[in-house]
Amino acid sequence: MIVRPLRILAAALAAIVTLIASMPTQADTFRPGWRFAPPPGITMTTTRPHHALALQGNAYVSPIYLRQVVSYPTHEAKGTIVVDTGSHFLYLVLGNGQALRYGIGVARSGFEWNGWHRVTRKAEWPGWTPPAEMRRRQPGLPTHMAGGPNNPLGARALYLGSTLYRIHGTNEPWSIGQNVSSGCIRMTNDDVIDLYGRVAVNTRVVVR
């Protein structure tokens, strides 16, 4: 008479264990679209953009690259973007000796440039068409990639002048603070969305 209740209890426990095992882990819920795990020490948060694609943003190696208001005496006008490639920082001039500072990834050796342009176009979840010379260097690249979390341009892009250079997000947020790009300025997706909402077409961008 005791065996039957024990069997029922065992079956119920087995069902609970199976249910728990089938539930997504916290790591799974915070890795939408990831094809591989980020390097050790990387943290990530996600937000929900307007078309419900999950962001792979706000991952960082050092807290120094977190977005923050800093002292920044400059002769540049309020609203100007200043890119300091040597220190891996982008500054949005706020006026009164202050700026909003973001961590960035910049051009690798041989692809550096400096000068100034204006933002000529803004795009949300931009598509990416690698130029012919880039495809020659990297034959595996697609001719075009639609916008989305796996796109190298990330969540937003600010196009500079008539050049191929952009300030854009990235699907490799751990590259912030490094010299890795072909000339574009990389930001985390969270940061580029923030900057995108603060600047307009025709904003002056100075790269040093």
> DSSP of 178-196, one letter per residue?
SEEESSPEE--HHHHHHHH
Burial class, 116, CB count within 10 angstroms (exposed 0-12 / middle 13-18 / buried 19+): middle
Nearest 5°: CA angle at 46, between 41 and 51? 150
For residue 50, indicate whether it is catalytic. Answer: no
Phi-psi region of 3 (alpha: psi -120 to 50; beta: other; left: phi over 0): alpha
Distance from C-alpha of 71 to C-alpha of 11, rounded to nearest angstrom: 65
Q: What tokens appear for 96 in the block? A: 């009164």
Distance from C-alpha of 159 to C-alpha of 161, rounded to nearest angstrom: 7
170 SS3 class: coil
Could you tell me which residues are beta bridge partners of residue 160?
Answer: 119
For residue 88, indicate whether it is catalytic. Answer: no
Distance from C-alpha of 199 to C-alpha of 195, rounded to nearest angstrom: 6
- Which residues are identified as catalytic? 168, 184
